[in-house]
């Protein structure tokens, strides 16, 4: 106990002695034994490390070194976080290859052909043919020159030509073709007119007697498609019937009245 008290007083008065391990090892203290009266009290000098089996640091410099290292590591982590924040959001998005784009678009039910040229006149006169197509999880009955709103389609821009592959049914005045579940060799051509947002929907949640009320709005992203052509079925020819002129009707009425 006396030797320990001496070490404590030394650490309080002269901490610079224990900054290095070499100076600590050089310090020697006499052992404390229950010796006889005839034997001397101090027999052989021993080192400090012989008294204690575990290494102990009596100065606060070692703890300060640890704290400095921790602060440095925290600063590095903070700098790494800043570097991550500097990365633009667009680079964090998943980058699709051409094959992945085609596979995902085909799973939804369409294929992107390319941009519509200015000289290309894809809009044809009305034809008495209709089709039922599936885009994603929705089904639409369409005819030539119809416009439909679907959920936002990926990998396509305004004025891009699309081919809708999932045709479930084709019909006309003469015949009807039902797919099992898809009609083979059938396709519906369309053009992307715009990407828009649907009307806002208010989601309101309340729990009575709990002081719980939450209001949230949502606007669904939509894509407007214009149907240009339907292929895979025989199209009947449109027969234009001439309407009689109005003067001819009046002359027939006069002849009937005179008779």
For 146-165, write each residue's pLDDT tens digit.
Answer: 999 999 999 999 999 999 99
How far is residue 131's CA from residue 172's CA, in Å, rounded to a whole number?
9
The token pair that represents 80 in the structure block: 């790494």
CB 128 within 8 A of CB 172: yes
Q: Beta-carbon neighbour count of residue 195 at 10 Å?
A: 14
How far is residue 170's CA from residue 239's CA, in Å, rounded to a whole number?
21
Please list the helix, strand and coil fractions of the chain in percent, rounded to the nearest 5, in that order. 30, 30, 40
| Closest C-alpha to 129, from 167, 182, 181, 184 | 167
Residues composing the chain: 259
CB 148 within 8 A of CB 189: no
Alpha-carbon separation of residue 200 from 148, 150, 204 (angstroms): 19, 16, 13
Residue 175 CB contacts under 8 Å (≥ 6 apart), including other chains: 233, 234
pLDDT of amino acid 206: 97
pLDDT band (50, 70, 90) for residue 94: confident
How far is residue 44's CA from residue 246's CA, in Å, rounded to a whole number?
140
Percent of the chain with pLDDT over 90: 48
pLDDT of amino acid 147: 95
What's the count of helices (H) and strands (E) in the chain, helices before strands? Answer: 7, 13
C-alpha 160: how far from chain center: 24
pLDDT band (50, 70, 90) for residue 8: confident
How far is residue 230's CA from residue 127's CA, in Å, rounded to a whole number?
9
What is the residue-averaged pLDDT of the chain?
78
Phi, psi of 34 (to 5 degrees): -90, 80
Q: What is the pLDDT of residues 187-235, one digit of tens each?
A: 999 999 999 999 999 999 999 999 999 999 999 999 999 999 999 998 8
Q: What is the pLDDT of residues 56-90, one digit of tens each?
A: 555 545 455 555 555 555 555 555 555 555 555 55
114 - beta bridge partners? 161
| Mean pLDDT along residues 14-33 | 55
How far is residue 223's CA from residue 230's CA, in Å, rounded to a whole number?
20
Residue with tokens 């895979």: 232
Of 78-82, 178-182, 248-252, the poorest mean pLDDT is in 78-82
How far is residue 59's CA from residue 7's CA, in Å, rounded to a whole number?
11
pLDDT of amino acid 122: 83
How far is residue 131's CA from residue 170's CA, in Å, rounded to a whole number?
5
CB 168 within 8 A of CB 132: yes
Q: What is the pLDDT of residues 27-65, one digit of tens each?
A: 555 555 554 545 455 555 555 555 555 555 555 454 555
């Amino acid at each position: 106990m006396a030797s320990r008290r001496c070490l404590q007083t030394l650490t309080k008065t002269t901490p610079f002695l224990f900054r290095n391990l070499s100076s600590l090892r050089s310090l020697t203290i006499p052992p404390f034994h229950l010796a006889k009266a005839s034997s001397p009290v101090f027999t052989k000098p021993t080192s400090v490390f012989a008294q204690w089996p575990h290494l102990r640091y009596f100065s606060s410099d070692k703890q300060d070194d640890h704290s400095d290292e921790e602060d440095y590591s925290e600063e590095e982590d903070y700098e790494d976080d800043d570097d991550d924040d500097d990365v633009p959001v667009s680079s964090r998005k998943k980058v699709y290859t051409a094959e992945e784009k085609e596979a995902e678009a085909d799973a939804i039910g369409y294929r992107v052909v390319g941009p519509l040229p200015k000289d290309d006149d894809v809009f044809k006169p009305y034809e008495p043919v209709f089709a039922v197509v599936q885009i994603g999880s929705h089904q639409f009955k369409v005819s030539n020159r119809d416009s439909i709103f679907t959920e936002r389609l990926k990998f396509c821009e305004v004025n891009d030509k699309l081919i809708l592959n999932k045709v479930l049914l084709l019909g006309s005045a003469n015949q009807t073709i039902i797919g099992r579940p898809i009609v083979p060799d059938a396709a519906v051509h369309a053009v992307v007119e715009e990407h828009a947002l649907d009307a806002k929907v208010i989601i309101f949640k309340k729990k009575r007697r709990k002081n719980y009320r939450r209001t949230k709005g949502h606007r669904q992203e939509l894509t407007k498609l214009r149907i240009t052509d339907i292929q895979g079925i025989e199209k009947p020819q449109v027969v234009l019937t001439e309407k009689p002129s109005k003067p001819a009707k009046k002359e027939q009425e006069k002849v009937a009245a005179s008779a």
